[in-house]
Amino acid sequence: MEESARLTRPREVVWCDGSEQEAERITKVLVDQGRTERLNERTYPNCLLHRSDPNDVARTESVTFICTRREEDAGPTNNWMEPAAAKEKLSALYKGAMAGRTMYVVPYLMGPPDSPITRVGVEITDSAYVVASMRIMARMGQVALDRIGRSNDFVPGLHSLGDLHPDRRFIMHFAEEKLIWSIGSGYGGNALLGKKCFALRIASWMAHEQGWLAEHMLILGLEDPSGKVTYMAAAFPSACGKTNLAMMVSALEKNGYRVWTVGDDIAWMQPGADGYLHAINPEAGFFGVAPGTSLKTNGNVISAMHSNTIFTNTAMTANREPWWEGMDAEPSAGLPVGLPAGLVDWQGRSGAELQKPAAQPNSRYTVPARQASSISPRWEDPGGVPISAFIFGGRRARLAPLVYESFSWPHGVFVGATMASETTAAATGAVGVTRRDPMAMLPFCGYHMGDYFEHWLTLGRQIAHPPKIFHVNWFRKGSAGKMLWPGFGENVRVLKWILERVNGTGKAMETPIGFVPAPDALTLEGLNIPKETMEELLRIDTDDWTAETEETGKFFEQFGNRFPAELHEEHAALGRRLATAANARK
Ligand code: OXD
Ligand code: MN
């Protein structure tokens, strides 16, 4: 703290204790700064609307660096800078950066207070918005100081808004030192250092060293009619519906299937004495994408966000309530979606000045997890929850079937390593382009991805009950360009089949890429999906898959000799199975 203050020269230093009084003081500061407003006190008590700088609306991967001593340890998928050069560059930017500002010292826990899997961080920041957000997203203040005690076992992070100019924006991870330096952005994963910087990039490095996993995964529990809850963790790239899946209102609730939320974005997992991987959610809140969130797509989060929530870059109604595109019930077919009268857009413009979309496409809600009615009774279990299935997925308009199961742990790791998805607005850059995103960790793995795959393979060999590995695709489109599967609450039907496969009862057909549900294996009652549509949803096109296999081969080349031989073998075996299937067809 003293070192940071000497460098950044703040007007004052405030240690955050996490108390209610402190939260109220921070809100006042935010409102006085002019970019934050209080929302309707009656319908949205203790809720804020924050408008970020228009140049600062998403994570910026192009200025995110892993600063390891040797470049090869960061690997081909990360930007790299030599640690001393990175420190010199950022020290120049930090110099006097907090002049006239308050420096907040934010001690925080990633994980439940009493869990051995939990780790501690301390973020120093000059952003009151970051403090208010960290209070929701992590367990912040005295509880973390108590855990640190007299040790120095915590991950330090220095954050300054700097001048918010994109040319002077950098997010640096000194992995060996377990240190984070971020400057020039106040938004999401760039600035709330506990989330992507610590809980994924630094933690994945720690997990590799210490024999555990830090993954970009939601954690959910599926309750069956007997009352037993089976836990699953699922990795999807940013903005592919992780929060909606984790908080799903099950379409099969009347049949006794219910979904419990443990986490929506990150899972830390350690092998337990029972031979299962045990997962905790290191976070305490949900930082979800607002546009498209509605009673239909995620009723649980809509109810949870009516108090103590920060909305960032959403629009606001005349009634001072948050608003975004896709928030209202489905518009009738063919009618244009009307905007509520008196709406103010995410930049505070209204009337003739208002721009569409009125909510920024990456606008967010930040809501305490404990407010969700779907929150699992075990979400703060110090021992974590035992994971029986891993689910990988992405947006694939064409290729991937609704669901398939891998043949084995190494094959499942291969399935994760070959994940791809069409891009969204969660990060800056083009939207809708297919991007390979192994385990949804491409922007978040803090070390060489070849070593990361090897770590997965090794861990699978070490545990008696590794999770079964599945792949899902809710986004397959038909020839008319229409989505084939209804998604959202209906996705529980796929989870139910996964559960049955875990229990050894689900019926399946073997295909070259893995097991898909047998024709009558999915519970489809009440859905009215034509038989041909279901066939299309589960179809494996050998030609498309052969082309895909060539693409993944090219993608793997960049990992060079750090790419595990076992995955090369999985790749070759898939090629052979596809060739056999193609020949049989001829
Ligand atoms: C997120 C992301 O915000 O993945 O969770 O971008
Ligand atoms: Mn995420």
CA-based nearest residue to 235, from 501, 441, 491, 406: 441
User: For 184-188, 270-274, 330-334, 345-349, which range has the lowest pLDDT when averaged over its residues?
Assistant: 330-334
Give helix 542-557 / helix 565-585 axis angle, nearest 10°.
Answer: 160
Average pLDDT rounded to a whole number, residues 308-334: 87
Q: Can you list the pairs that 500-503 forms with residues at least 24 positions away whose Cβ atoms lie under 8 Å? A: 501/389, 501/405, 501/468, 501/470, 502/230, 502/388, 502/389, 502/468, 503/230
CA distance 562 to 413: 15
Report residues whose beta carbon is within 6 angstroms of any ligand 1 atom: 59, 188-189, 238, 265, 287, 426
**Ligand 2 centroid from CA 188, angstroms:** 10
**Ligand 1 centroid from CA 456, angstroms:** 22
Flag whether pLDDT at 97 surpasses 80: yes
**Ligand 2 centroid from CA 367, angstroms:** 15
Average pLDDT rounded to a whole number, residues 338-367: 95
CA distance 7 to 216: 34
- What pLDDT sits at residue 455? 98
CA distance 324 to 312: 11
Flag whether pLDDT at 335 surpasses 50: no
- Average pLDDT score over the chain: 95
Tokens linked to 393: 């997925």
Specify the residue with its C-alpha closest to ligand 1, atom 4: 238
- What pLDDT sits at residue 542? 96
Q: Which atom of ligand 1 is nearest to the CA of 195?
A: 5
Average pLDDT rounded to a whole number, residues 343-359: 96
Whole-number percent of the chain with pLDDT over 70: 97
Relative to the alpha carbon of 57, which ligand is closest?
Answer: 1
- What pLDDT sits at residue 329? 60
Specify the residue with its C-alpha closest to ligand 1, atom 2: 238
- What pLDDT sits at residue 337? 61
Tokens linked to 541: 């096109």
State how beta strands 277-280 and 385-393 pair: antiparallel
Flag whether pLDDT at 156 surpasses 90: yes
SS3 12: strand
Residue 428: pLDDT band by 50, 70, 90 thresholds? low
**Ligand 2 centroid from CA 217, angstroms:** 8
> Peptide bond preceding 357: is omega within 30 degrees of 0, i.e. cis?
yes
Flag whether pLDDT at 77 surpasses 90: yes
CA distance 383 to 288: 26
CA-based nearest residue to 56, from 316, 428, 348: 428
Specify the residue with its C-alpha closest to ligand 1, atom 1: 238
- Check: CB of residue 425 under 8 Å from CB of residue 361: yes
* Gap between the terminal Cα atoms of the chain: 70
CA-based nearest residue to 259, from 244, 273, 270, 274: 244
Output b/e per residue, 489-525; b: 16+ Cβ within 10 A.
bbbbbbbbbbbbbbeeebebeebbbbbbbeeebbbee
Flag whether pLDDT at 429 surpasses 80: no
pTM reported for the whole predicted model: 0.96
Q: Which atom of ligand 1 is nearest to the CA of 427?
A: 6
Average pLDDT rounded to a whole number, residues 474-503: 95
Whole-number percent of the chain with pLDDT over 90: 93
DSSP conformation letters of 91-146? HHHHTTTTTTSEEEEEEEEES-TT-TT-EEEEEEES-HHHHHHHHHHSEESHHHHH
Average pLDDT rounded to a whole number, residues 490-519: 98
**Ligand 1 centroid from CA 266, angstroms:** 10
- What pLDDT sits at residue 151? 83
- Check: CB of residue 355 under 8 Å from CB of residue 82: no
Question: Residue 34 is which amino acid?
Answer: G
Mutate which of 57, 64, 242, 265 to test ligand 1's pocket (most atoms within 8 Å of Cβ)? 265
Q: Which atom of ligand 1 is nearest to the CA of 238?
A: 4
Mutate which of 59, 193, 421, 428 to test ligand 1's pocket (most atoms within 8 Å of Cβ)? 59
Mutate which of 238, 312, 435, 442 to test ligand 1's pocket (most atoms within 8 Å of Cβ)? 238
Tokens linked to 348: 């505070």
Active centre residues (catalytic) = 240
**Ligand 2 centroid from CA 238, angstroms:** 5
- What pLDDT sits at residue 481? 87
- Check: CB of residue 173 under 8 Å from CB of residue 202: yes
Flag whether pLDDT at 66 surpasses 60: yes
CA distance 302 to 306: 7
Q: Which atom of ligand 1 is nearest to the CA of 443?
A: 4
